[in-house]
Chains A and B, each alone.
Chain A
Amino acid sequence: MLWVAIGILLKILVVVSIALGTVAYLIYVERKVAAYAQDRVGPNRAGKELGIPFGLLQPLADGAKMVLKEDVIPGYVSRPLYMLAPVIAIVAAMIGFAVVPFGPVGPNQIMNFQIAPNINIGILYVFAIGSLAVYGIILAGWASNNKYAFLGALRSSAQLISYEIPLGMSILGMVLIAGSLDLNQIVNWQDRRVWGVVVQPIGFLLFLVSAFAETNRLPFDLPESEQELVGGYHTEYSAMKFGMFFLGEYLHVITVSYLTVLLFFGGWSLPFHLLNQNQIGFLSAVFKVMVLLFKVALMILFIMWVRWTLPRFRYDHLMDLAWKSLIPLSLVNLVATAAIVQLIYSSR
């Protein structure tokens, strides 16, 4: 029992340190992508003295700056809630990873590339944890006692709860087809048949749009919208508390990219069954992890590319998109999927 717990703890520490390291470099990549999108060079100084090119040490410098800056707590905030909000934001972003499979999982595999492998409600858990992020944002906005923060939190909570509905409905088709909420089972189904994006193209689009909104990324970054609201809900936060909201946001980007790949792009599987679930052993596991990572990296780059391509929505357009387009569309998609699945599966 003790050794099992130590094994799980080791896995958790590996995942957390890789995730936080990735986040640090994602911020660097984001700045580089932004720079090239705007015909600039981007960060290229940090590490020059040590002979490290392209400013690759920038994330270290950023991290050090976050910790070493003054942690201002304004006089008018409600301190307990003000302190609690960033903790909720980053904890909710981190523990979502518990059920995300980073590679093959199963009784015959060399190891389970998943922190909690036997949870059969995987995707439901991810959504439940993901919606906890609302609490971090609304508590931050309320506790700050600042008009910008308050407005940002209001907008943000309305946006997050609105887009949670199409997000939840968009995956129902995939769950129905694969007959499981377990992400591994869904990936295995896609490995046997086709990728989810082929059988659920509308579901994929709905998921993608809602996921952008749930991560507060541009074109849906109304909660922050720095031109109108300064910083939105984290206006009054400084030093590492601000950094925690920032880390939480990028952790959400990674989670969402993993989910997209696992639900709609076959997870670790390749076309033509080059990698399939019957392969066991070290080499295939390594390849599967690499393939999954590659797909996730492409997805993250896509998210960044969209950020620097599309302008921000107006707030009424944003709510219209959720309630008047995405939710009716997802209802139609659900009915159509259920009917088609009923026809196909019952004729077997």
Chain B
Amino acid sequence: MSTEFTPIFLFLLVAVAIALSMMIASAVLGPHKRTKVKQMPYESGMNPFGDARQRFDVRYYLIAIVFLLFDVELLFLYPWAVAQWSGGVPAATSAPAGSTLGPVGIPAEFRSLVFWEIQFFIVILAAALAYAWKKGVFEWR
């Protein structure tokens, strides 16, 4: 953690301040007339019945679990994609100014090994997708 991220934290403060000022302005400037009907949940003018927080389809959970699997695996692929060719290829330039990191990347002699490892990794990922597919996770009736 260094000064590189300072602008982002400043930006976060500014953004929160803007959001809060918008809400406060709206709350102060707008009229306030509470009526019983306004306080009801909106259901297209019908009288609301039951609780809105009902049980819902289990597929949403399944999708979320498969998403977790893929998203975590994806995080492994990003460092690989950066490192694979940034160790001395003409296309890759030096580290940006102010960066504390030196030149990084996979040394030339390991590149084909890492390449095949990543292919294997993606095959496992594809197998997981195929399994979920076959189990009917993606079937929405």
Contact = CB atoms under 8 A, between A and B. Distances in A.
Interface of A: 5, 8-9, 11-13, 16, 66-72, 74-76, 83, 86-87, 90-91, 94-95, 97-99, 106-107, 115-120, 124-125, 142, 144-150, 154, 157-158, 161-162, 164-165, 168-169, 172, 175-182, 184-185, 188-189, 192-193, 230, 235-236, 239-241, 243-244, 315-316, 319-320, 323-324, 327-328, 331, 334-335, 338-339, 341-342, 345-346, 348
Given A12-B10, A71-B26, A323-B133, A169 B42 contact: no
B5 A119 contact: yes
28 contacts: A16-B18, A70-B33, A71-B27, A74-B40, A94-B11, A95-B8, A97-B11, A98-B7, A117-B98, A118-B96, A146-B41, A148-B43, A154-B60, A168-B74, A172-B81, A176-B84, A178-B92, A179-B91, A193-B91, A236-B41, A240-B22, A240-B25, A241-B23, A243-B22, A244-B19, A323-B138, A331-B126, A334-B122
A55 to B, nearest CB: 24
Given A74-B40, A75-B39, A179-B105, A87 B19 contact: yes
B67 A164 contact: yes
Contacts of B44: 230
B50 to A, nearest CB: 8
Interface of B: 4-8, 10-12, 14-16, 18-20, 22-23, 25-27, 29-33, 38-44, 48, 51-54, 56, 60, 63-64, 66-67, 70-71, 74, 77-78, 81-82, 84-86, 89-93, 95-99, 101, 105, 111-112, 115, 118-119, 122, 125-126, 129, 133, 137-138, 140-141
B112 A67 contact: no
A339 to B, nearest CB: 8
Contact of A70 (B22, B32, B39): B32
B53 A169 contact: no
A334 B16 CA distance: 38
A69 B95 CA distance: 51
Contacts of A69: 26, 30
Contacts of B138: 319-320, 323-324
A246 to B, nearest CB: 11
A120 B67 contact: no
Contacts of A142: 53
B98 A118 contact: yes
Contacts of B20: 87
A12 B12 CA distance: 10
B34 to A, nearest CB: 8
Nearest to A240: B26
B133 A324 contact: yes
B102 to A, nearest CB: 12
Contacts of B15: 16, 90-91, 94-95
Contact of A165 (B10, B14, B67, B90): B67
B112 A342 contact: yes
A193 B15 CA distance: 37
A127 to B, nearest CB: 9
Nearest to B18: A16
B40 A75 contact: yes
Given A71-B26, A345-B85, 18 more contacts: A16-B18, A69-B30, A83-B23, A87-B23, A90-B18, A91-B12, A94-B11, A94-B18, A162-B63, A165-B70, A169-B74, A175-B78, A185-B96, A193-B91, A230-B42, A319-B138, A339-B119, A342-B112
A331 B122 contact: yes
Kindly list the 6 A-B residue pairs having the minimum CB-CB distance in the complex, ordered from nearest.
A240-B26, A75-B39, A316-B140, A179-B86, A179-B92, A116-B7
A104 to B, nearest CB: 13
B30 A175 contact: no
A6 to B, nearest CB: 10
Nearest to A193: B91
A115 B31 contact: no
